Amino acid sequence: MTIGIIGSGALGSNFARILAKLGLSAIIANSRGPASLADLVNELGPSVKAGTVEEAASADMVLVAVRWVDAEKVLGSLPAWNGRIVIDGTNPVESFDPATSPDADDASNPLAAYGIKAIDLGGKNSSQVIQQFVPGARVVKAFNHNDVNVLKEPETAGGKRVLFYSGDDAAAKAEVRGIMEAAGFFPIDLGALDVGGPLASLPFGTLSTHNFVRI
């Protein structure tokens, strides 16, 4: 199996580090092209290669690790998914500069001071929207609900960090769970996408940003 990673920023690069430690074959891509990833793939070792977005998107399992505002554009013109697995690592949030943006004065937004606002999805949950961008893929929502720094340390405080995941396809979820377990995390299945997705999605999912440890 080869795993594609679209986006090489905070989430994409740290997910790549997990795969590299496991020796899993992966292709990582960003907006600037493979040459810009030379230092990263050099650090990661031989199992992770830099590629184009199309090459990463052609893998058996593909992590979407781009900002919400870029997702539709990135995913809009890719090869047919044909049942391949898409891990949706995104959250429907937008950043702004709290020092200069009028959004900082939005009293209805509890995250305004942090320069983060939720994106209005018109009543849909974020994975429903991502599923529309990747028709025919088996979507698993995962690796999205905590700061990426927790991905660097699967075992902590005498236990294993909990990672939540959700999806509508049991076999796809089992593949993603396998990676989490192999990396040393304690995965918890939150059920179907429309149940687990919103629970573990930023900014307001009840289980998002909590750092649980299985002792």
Ligand X SMILES: NC(=O)c1ccc[n+]([C@@H]2O[C@H](COP(=O)([O-])OP(=O)(O)OC[C@H]3O[C@@H](n4cnc5c(N)ncnc54)[C@H](OP(=O)(O)O)[C@@H]3O)[C@@H](O)[C@H]2O)c1
- List interacting residues with ligand X (CB under 6 A): 6-12, 29-32, 53, 65-68, 70, 73-74, 89-91, 93, 144, 147-148
**CB nearest ligand X: which residue?**
9
Q: What are the beta bridge partners of residue 62? A: 4, 86
Shortest Å, Cβ 88 to ligand X: 9
Comparison of 42 and 171: residue with beta carbon closer to ligand X: 42
Shortest Å, Cβ 203 to ligand X: 9
What are φ and ψ of residue 126, in 5° steps?
-65, -35
Sequence-ordered alpha helix ranges (H) in 65-204: 68-75, 126-133, 170-182, 193-199
Output the six-digit token pair for 119. Answer: 């994106």
Shortest Å, Cβ 189 to ligand X: 19
Alpha-carbon span 79 to 179, nearest angstrom: 24
Shortest Å, Cβ 149 to ligand X: 7
Alpha-carbon span 136 to 123, nearest angstrom: 22
Work out whether the CA dihedral 200, 56, 182, 16 comes out positive or negative: negative
CB atoms within 10 A of CB 44: 20
Comparison of 171 and 211: residue with beta carbon closer to ligand X: 211
To which H or E segment does residue 84 belong?
Answer: none
Shortest Å, Cβ 209 to ligand X: 9
Comparison of 73 and 214: residue with beta carbon closer to ligand X: 73
Comparison of 2 and 90: residue with beta carbon closer to ligand X: 90
Comparison of 76 and 158: residue with beta carbon closer to ligand X: 76
Alpha-carbon span 164 to 145, nearest angstrom: 8
